[in-house]
Structure 1
Amino acid sequence: MARTIVAETCPECGSLDVRATEPKWFLVEFDRRVDLDDGWVERLEFECRDCHGSWD
Protein backbone atom coordinates (compact mmCIF):
# COMPACT_ATOMS: atom_id res chain seq x y z
CA MET A 1 0.00 0.00 0.00
CA ALA A 2 1.60 3.26 -1.13
CA ARG A 3 1.28 6.35 1.03
CA THR A 4 1.38 9.90 -0.22
CA ILE A 5 2.98 12.73 1.70
CA VAL A 6 1.83 16.24 0.90
CA ALA A 7 3.85 19.26 2.04
CA GLU A 8 2.05 22.46 2.99
CA THR A 9 3.19 25.34 0.80
CA CYS A 10 2.63 29.04 1.30
CA PRO A 11 -0.18 30.34 -0.93
CA GLU A 12 1.52 33.75 -1.13
CA CYS A 13 5.12 32.92 -2.10
CA GLY A 14 5.15 29.13 -2.63
CA SER A 15 7.73 28.51 0.12
CA LEU A 16 7.93 25.14 1.83
CA ASP A 17 9.28 26.74 5.02
CA VAL A 18 5.92 26.63 6.81
CA ARG A 19 5.09 26.07 10.46
CA ALA A 20 1.79 24.87 11.92
CA THR A 21 0.26 25.69 15.28
CA GLU A 22 -2.81 24.50 17.11
CA PRO A 23 -4.27 27.70 18.61
CA LYS A 24 -6.55 25.87 21.05
CA TRP A 25 -3.65 23.99 22.67
CA PHE A 26 -2.53 24.85 26.17
CA LEU A 27 -0.19 23.15 28.61
CA VAL A 28 -1.88 20.39 30.57
CA GLU A 29 -0.28 17.81 32.80
CA PHE A 30 0.17 14.68 30.71
CA ASP A 31 -1.96 12.47 32.96
CA ARG A 32 -4.95 14.88 32.58
CA ARG A 33 -4.70 15.59 28.83
CA VAL A 34 -6.84 12.54 28.00
CA ASP A 35 -9.67 13.85 30.21
CA LEU A 36 -9.76 17.20 28.39
CA ASP A 37 -9.61 16.22 24.73
CA ASP A 38 -9.56 13.11 22.62
CA GLY A 39 -6.30 13.98 20.84
CA TRP A 40 -7.83 15.29 17.61
CA VAL A 41 -6.75 18.69 16.42
CA GLU A 42 -9.72 21.02 16.09
CA ARG A 43 -8.00 23.54 13.84
CA LEU A 44 -4.49 24.28 12.58
CA GLU A 45 -3.05 27.65 11.65
CA PHE A 46 -0.14 27.88 9.24
CA GLU A 47 2.49 30.61 8.93
CA CYS A 48 5.19 31.05 6.30
CA ARG A 49 8.62 31.66 7.76
CA ASP A 50 9.75 33.44 4.58
CA CYS A 51 7.01 36.01 3.88
CA HIS A 52 5.14 35.73 7.23
CA GLY A 53 1.81 35.09 5.52
CA SER A 54 -0.74 33.11 7.58
CA TRP A 55 -3.76 30.96 6.74
CA ASP A 56 -5.86 28.13 8.17
Structure 2
Amino acid sequence: MARIVVAEVCPGCGSLDVRATEPRWFRVDLDRRGDLDQGWIDSLEFACRDCHLVWD
Protein backbone atom coordinates (compact mmCIF):
# COMPACT_ATOMS: atom_id res chain seq x y z
CA MET A 1 0.00 0.00 0.00
CA ALA A 2 1.40 3.38 -1.01
CA ARG A 3 1.23 6.24 1.47
CA ILE A 4 0.97 9.87 0.50
CA VAL A 5 2.44 12.60 2.71
CA VAL A 6 1.30 16.17 2.18
CA ALA A 7 3.19 19.08 3.72
CA GLU A 8 1.18 22.02 5.03
CA VAL A 9 2.18 25.20 3.20
CA CYS A 10 1.59 28.67 4.60
CA PRO A 11 -1.15 30.37 2.56
CA GLY A 12 0.39 33.77 3.31
CA CYS A 13 4.04 33.40 2.34
CA GLY A 14 4.33 29.87 0.93
CA SER A 15 6.77 28.70 3.62
CA LEU A 16 7.01 25.04 4.56
CA ASP A 17 8.16 25.95 8.10
CA VAL A 18 4.72 25.36 9.61
CA ARG A 19 3.80 23.92 12.99
CA ALA A 20 0.53 22.27 13.98
CA THR A 21 -0.99 22.64 17.43
CA GLU A 22 -4.18 21.70 19.17
CA PRO A 23 -5.79 24.97 20.32
CA ARG A 24 -6.77 23.62 23.75
CA TRP A 25 -4.02 23.36 26.34
CA PHE A 26 -5.40 20.18 27.95
CA ARG A 27 -7.18 16.99 26.93
CA VAL A 28 -10.46 15.96 28.48
CA ASP A 29 -10.59 12.43 29.87
CA LEU A 30 -12.61 10.29 27.42
CA ASP A 31 -15.36 9.33 29.89
CA ARG A 32 -16.13 13.02 30.67
CA ARG A 33 -15.52 14.36 27.21
CA GLY A 34 -19.20 14.46 26.23
CA ASP A 35 -19.96 16.74 29.19
CA LEU A 36 -17.22 19.27 28.45
CA ASP A 37 -16.42 19.10 24.75
CA GLN A 38 -18.32 21.32 22.34
CA GLY A 39 -16.93 19.54 19.26
CA TRP A 40 -13.77 21.57 18.79
CA ILE A 41 -11.25 19.69 20.89
CA ASP A 42 -9.90 17.71 17.93
CA SER A 43 -9.35 20.66 15.63
CA LEU A 44 -5.86 21.57 14.51
CA GLU A 45 -4.43 25.04 14.22
CA PHE A 46 -1.49 25.79 11.95
CA ALA A 47 1.04 28.59 12.43
CA CYS A 48 3.80 29.74 10.10
CA ARG A 49 7.16 30.22 11.81
CA ASP A 50 8.28 32.68 9.14
CA CYS A 51 5.40 35.17 8.84
CA HIS A 52 3.45 34.13 12.01
CA LEU A 53 0.15 33.66 10.18
CA VAL A 54 -2.27 31.35 12.03
CA TRP A 55 -5.03 29.34 10.31
CA ASP A 56 -7.11 26.22 10.81
TM-score norm. by structure 1 comes to 0.71
The CA distance in 2 between the partners of 1:37 and 1:22, in whole Å, is 16
Aligned equivalents of 1:37, 1:52: Cα separation in 2: 33
Taking only aligned residues, the RMSD between alpha carbons, in angstroms, comes to 2.1
3-state SS, counterpart of residue 20 of structure 1: strand
Listed one character per residue, the Cα deviations across residues 9-33 of structure 1 (whole Å, up to 9, x for unaligned) are 000011000011101241x7xxxx7
Match of 1:37 in 2: 30
TM-score for both structures, normalised by structure 2 = 0.71
| Structure 2 residues without counterparts, runs of 5 or longer | 32-40
Distance 1:37 1:43 in 2: 16
Matched, 1:2 2:2: yes
Paired residue secondary structure (2:23): coil
Unaligned runs of 5+ in 1: none
Q: Indicate the percent of aligned positions where both proteins have the same amino acid.
A: 68
- State the number of aligned residues: 47
- Written as runs of structure 1 = structure 2, the 5 A alignment for 1:1-56 is 1-26=1-26, 36-37=29-30, 42-56=42-56
Structure 1 SS opposite 2:50: coil
